[in-house]
């Protein structure tokens, strides 16, 4: 059964590239890369042949599939860059992640708030102190009332015994 069922396939037919054409394009690409590499080497002729041959090998590594034909630059792909031991600075401050920074800021703000709260400078502390003063006043009044009632009872008991 043909593609697309009984009605047939409506798309264009496949077009394949000629292998000779592909070889010619690859040669032109290599020549461009080599000429660009030669310009870079021309500015620093003091490099030895061994170094330049190792650079050529790394730049012309074997590519699989279409990679050899098309130069692909993916901005999302992060390549690992190895650092030399001499370049690594142990004493440099480590950059914190966003979560770590936010956690540290949260702790500092909590400490500031607790300090102000203990000093009675926050709105909540002022409200707590006002409520505490009202409660103290009520307890004092209640204590005075109980004391007065007890004195009255003692006075009545003294009258009753006489």
Can you list the alpha helix ranges (DSSP code H) found in the chain? 19-43, 49-59, 98-119, 123-161
Please state the separation of Cα 55 from the chain's center in Å: 36
pLDDT score of 152: 93
Residue 35 belongs to a domain = no
Residue 139: give the domain boundaries. 123-162
Phi, psi of 13 (to 5 degrees): -70, 155
Residue 77 belongs to a domain = no
pLDDT score of 47: 47
Residue 136 belongs to a domain = yes
Q: What is the pTM of this model?
A: 0.34
Residue 22 belongs to a domain = no
pLDDT score of 78: 75
Residue 135 belongs to a domain = yes
Rounded Cα gap, residues 67 and 29, in angstroms = 12
Residue 157 belongs to a domain = yes
Q: Cβ(127)–Cβ(117) under 8 Å?
A: no
Please state the separation of Cα 70 from the chain's center in Å: 34
Residue 60 belongs to a domain = no
Rounded Cα gap, residues 116 and 125, in angstroms = 9
Please spell the DSSP secondary structure of 74-118, one letter per residue.
-TTPPPP-PPPTTT--TTSPPPPPHHHHHHHHHHHHHHHHHHHHH
**Total number of domains constituting the chain:** 1
Successive 10-residue mean pLDDT values, the chain, 162 residues? 63 78 92 80 52 51 67 75 75 83 95 91 90 96 96 90 74
pLDDT score of 62: 64
Rounded Cα gap, residues 66 and 72, in angstroms = 9
């Amino acid at each position: 059964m043909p593609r697309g069922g009984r009605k047939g396939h409506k798309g264009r037919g496949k077009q394949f590239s000629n292998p000779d054409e592909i070889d010619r394009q690859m040669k032109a690409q290599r020549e461009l890369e080599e000429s660009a590499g030669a310009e870079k080497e021309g500015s620093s002729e003091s490099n030895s042949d061994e170094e330049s041959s190792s650079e050529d090998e790394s730049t012309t590594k074997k590519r699989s599939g279409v990679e050899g034909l098309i130069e692909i630059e993916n901005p999302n792909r992060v390549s690992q860059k190895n650092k030399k031991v001499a370049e690594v600075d142990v004493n440099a401050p480590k950059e914190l992640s966003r979560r770590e920074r936010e956690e540290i800021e949260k702790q500092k703000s909590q400490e500031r708030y607790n300090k102000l709260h203990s000093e009675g400078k926050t709105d909540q502390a002022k409200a707590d102190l006002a409520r505490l003063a009202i409660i103290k006043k009520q307890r004092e009044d209640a204590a005075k009332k109980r004391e007065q009632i007890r004195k009255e009872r003692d006075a009545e008991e003294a009258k009753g015994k006489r």
